[in-house]
Structure formats: C-alpha cells, structure tokens
Chains A and B, each alone.
Chain A
Amino acid sequence: MVICGGVIKMENKTLKKPMTSRGTLGTVSWFFQVISGLFLVFFVGVHLYLAHIDFGHPIVFYDSVINNLKNPWWLLFYIAFVWVVTYHGLNGLKGILYDMGTRPKTRKYIAYILVAVYIVTVIYGTILAIIVSQIVIP
C-alpha cells in the first residue's frame, strides 16, 4: 500500500481518500486528531451514560457531580477528558481556519492564539475539577 497525495494505491487499484483536514493540518496534527477522536468515542460514551442516564436526578445534579469527582479515578478521567476534547476541538477548528485560504503568516497567528486558548482552557478545567472535588456538600 502506497500513500501519495491523499490517494492510496492498493492492489493495482487507485482509491481516492475521502476529503478531510489532513492536507491542511499536516500528517502529525491529523494523526493526533484521529487518535484523540477515537479516545473521545470512549470518553463521550461514558460521560453521556453517567451524566444523562445513570447519575441521579438532574435536580440533585450538584451533589452527584461533586460525589463523583471525589473518586480520584473519576477526577482523573474528567481531567483527561478536558485535555483531549479541548485539543480535538481546537485542532479541528485550526483545520477549518487554515482551509479558508488563509496566508502562512495568518496561520502562524491562528496557531499561536489556539495554543494559548488551549493552555488557558485546560489549566482552568483542571483547576475547576480539583476545586469542585474538594467541595463539602452542605
């Protein structure tokens, strides 16, 4: 199998790859986009089940969230979730913004801004999760 310019040549047949952000994001960035996306299928699946099906009544959601985060494994799960989902979202946004005919210089600024937004978001999310896990329910 040979990968060449978005086209895979396999068994003497040429198969066109579907249109993605691979070309604009670059191979490494696209690779991490795919890997983080696969992790998110697991993270989002667990979160939707936990928060919307088997997690107590929404009115007492406050107690449920805090009790859940008091378990260090769930705290770690949600911190990792924040880091991965924010990366995936902002990296995807970078692909979209790059793919709109932006100049190389503009792309550099976009990258700097999105890295800054990522760092601020994950630090805030991590601190928020840790503080919330320490709250004593009245």
Chain B
Amino acid sequence: MEKNTSESKEGILGWAKFKGKGVGYFGFTFQRVSGVVILFYLYLHYTVLSNLLHGQATYNSIVQSITYGPYDLFIVFDILLALVIFYHGANGIRLALNEMGIGLKHNKAFFVIFESISMVLLLLFLYYAWLFVAA
C-alpha cells in the first residue's frame, strides 16, 4: 500500500508522465481526469435541475438557450462530456473485470477492445441524440 501511495507523491503533474509506463498508466490517468470532469458536471447538472423549482418558463429557457442559442456552444461541451463518460465507463468495466482476475494477461487488448466498443456506442448515441435535438 505504501509503495502505491509514494508512487504518486509527485501530485497531478506525475499523472502526465506516460513515458515507458504503458497503456495501463494512460488508462489510470485518463480515468482520473475524466472522473474529475464528470464530478464537476454532476454538480453543474444538480444546479441546472434545481431550476425546475423556478417554473416552466425559467427551466425551458435555460434548456433552450444551451441547445439552440445563444449559448448553443454548450453542445460542444456536451459532446466532450459524452466522450469522457463513455471512456470512463468502458475503462471502469475493464478495471472491475481485473478485480475479478479477468483480463490481467491481456490488459492492453482489453483496453483497446473495451474502448473501441465504447466509442462505437458513443457515435450511435451522438447520432440519435442529434436527431432528437434537430427534430
């Protein structure tokens, strides 16, 4: 336990030192970065949902402004958010399988397979979500 802790005493900057550490370390770093992004969004989401208490006009004007303008740039952030959510979920499933002793011999292959499936699902999601927004 102590060894695992001391490895990261470099702080956040240590996460970015990928050289010679393999795909596992890359997965570890982006699992944390994506986790922090999702946590930030989670509280933002709670804040937006709190506006349901302010009535139909207020809530719908917020949803409309971040979907159709003037703040429709928010859709770019939504797409990036979907990307990190799908990445985080797929890598998380790989780590859960690792905990059960599954995939340890072929971790790199598991990473590539899970992330590839996840990115295909992401594209499908974005396609149908776009149809929904554009309707």
The residue on B at minimum CB distance from A37 is B92
* A110: min CB distance to chain B, Å: 14
B101 at the interface (CB under 8 A from A): yes
A116 at the interface (CB under 8 A from B): no
B116 at the interface (CB under 8 A from A): no
Helix, strand, loop or mixed for chain A's interface? Answer: helix
A62 and B52 in contact (CB under 8 A), knowing A17-B98, A18-B28, A52-B129?
A: yes
A93 at the interface (CB under 8 A from B): yes
A121–B46 CB distance below 8 A? yes
> Which B positions have Cβ atoms within 8 angstroms of A?
1, 3-5, 7-9, 11-12, 24-25, 27-28, 32, 35-36, 38-39, 42, 46, 49-50, 52-53, 56, 59-60, 63-64, 67, 82, 85, 89, 92-93, 95-96, 98-99, 101, 104-105, 107, 125, 128-129, 132-133, 135
Helix, strand, loop or mixed for chain B's interface? Answer: helix
Report the number of A-B residue pairs with Cβ-Cβ less than 8 Å. 130
B28–A59 CB distance below 8 A? no
- Per the bound structure, the CA–CA distance linking A53 and B64 in Å amounts to 16
A137–B56 CB distance below 8 A? yes
A101 and B101 in contact (CB under 8 A), knowing A34-B95, A52-B132, A60-B60?
A: no
A53–B56 CB distance below 8 A? no
A92–B4 CB distance below 8 A? no
A58 and B98 in contact (CB under 8 A), knowing A92-B39, A128-B53, A132-B52?
A: no
